[in-house]
Amino acid sequence: MKSLEVTLRAVRENGRKALVPYFVAGATPDWVRHVEAAALGGADAIEIGIPFSDPMMDGVVIQEAGLRALQAGTTFESIGRQLTSIDTEVPLIAMTYYNIFLHYGLARSAGRLHEFGLSGAIVPDLSLEESDEWRTSCGEHDIATIFLVAPSTPAERIKEVARRSEGFLYASARMAVTGASSDQGDGARVVANVREASDLPVYVGIGITTPEQAATTAAVSDGVIVGSALVKVILNGASVHDVENFVRSFRDAIDTTFEV
């Protein structure tokens, strides 16, 4: 079992609902300080988005952040150099597209993720059928490969996804790209379907916009992922203190609901 999964299973066993904020690396000059602020605000794991020129899952907010990062000269290696300055023990998880790792070399990419201090990777455009080489490379460096389950994923496919996923399963609440939403989507149904196939922690993402939504979604899952809502406040000029308060507002809403 990968170290990320050991950590996240312990979070669940302790009765805590996980909170996983998402950042676009390089979107602002002080992005690593934002990551540290999220840890102080109560994050249990943090996703580090590696910007890519042709994202297929990202909505307009994250696309804008990615464009800013790329225009500032952000690269896989520059992200790694900056990550080495982060002062936190909260697990860090890469999220990006397969072409970056394929171009860089799968074994080399997995090794660099480990060297940069990351313990997991979400690659939304990597299919199960083409994942063997990547998962093998990750296995040599204690990098958990995390797959997504959509509202449309059939039961038999969920079993295969769950069998190959490590760390946690990412339950998409809706058939859409990332972005804010005013409703809960299909997260509860996706989680229920996953739990029939696996005991991996299941976190819901895509459209978690407010602390209230996060608390409601946490009631039917093991945790929530907050992306676009956080990235938007950063693009609007949020300070390090603002980021900590933003994350803490989600943490407090979840913990108040579950009396952790």
3-class SS letters over 15-79:
CCCEEEEEEECCCCCCHHHHHHHHHHCCCCCEEEECCCCCCCCCCHHHHHHHHHHHHCCCCHHHH
Residue 145 in tokens: 């490969």
What is the model's pLDDT at position 178?
Answer: 52
Of the ranges 113-122, 148-157, 181-190, the best mean pLDDT one:
113-122
Who's near 198: CB < 8 A, 6+ residues apart? 158, 159, 162, 163, 165, 169
What is the model's pLDDT at position 185?
Answer: 61
Average pLDDT in the chain: 92
Q: What pLDDT digit, counting tens, does each position of 179-223 carry? A: 444 456 677 888 999 999 999 999 998 889 999 999 999 999 999
Provide the residue range defining the domain that includes 51. Answer: 3-258
Residue 45 maps to which CATH number?
A: 3.20.20.70
Reported as a pLDDT band with limits 50, 70 and 90, residue 56 is: confident
Q: What would the DSSP string read from start to end of 226-244?
A: E-HHHHHHHHTT--HHHHH
Rounded alpha-carbon distances, angstroms, from residue 187 to 6, 80, 133, 151, 191: 24, 32, 30, 8, 6
Reported as a pLDDT band with limits 50, 70 and 90, residue 260 is: very low
Q: Give the residue carrying structure tokens 């399963």.
A: 169
What is the model's pLDDT at position 187?
Answer: 76
DSSP state of 113: H
Q: Are strands 46-49 and 18-24 parallel, antiparallel or unpaired?
A: parallel
Reply yes or no on whether the pLDDT at 10 is more than 70.
Answer: yes
* 3-state DSSP assignment of residue 175: coil
Reported as a pLDDT band with limits 50, 70 and 90, residue 259 is: low
185's torsion region: left (phi>0), alpha (psi -120 to 50) or beta? Answer: left
Answer yes or no: 132 catalytic: no
What is the model's pLDDT at position 180?
Answer: 46
Residue 136 in tokens: 């093998």
Answer yes or no: 44 catalytic: no
Q: Which one is catalytic: 58, 186, 222, 244? A: 58
What is the model's pLDDT at position 134?
Answer: 97
CA distance 251 to 151: 26
What is the model's pLDDT at position 119?
Answer: 97
Reply yes or no on whether the pLDDT at 148 is more than 80.
Answer: yes
Mean pLDDT of 103-109: 96
Reply yes or no on whether the pLDDT at 18 is more than 80.
Answer: yes
Q: What pLDDT digit, counting tens, does each position of 60-90 carry? A: 899 999 999 999 999 999 999 999 889 899 9
Mean pLDDT of 228-254: 97
What is the model's pLDDT at position 162?
Answer: 93
DSSP state of 199: -
Q: Which one is catalytic: 5, 36, 44, 47? A: 47
Q: How many domains are contained in the chain? A: 1
Who's near 75: CB < 8 A, 6+ residues apart? none
Residue 161 in tokens: 């996804």
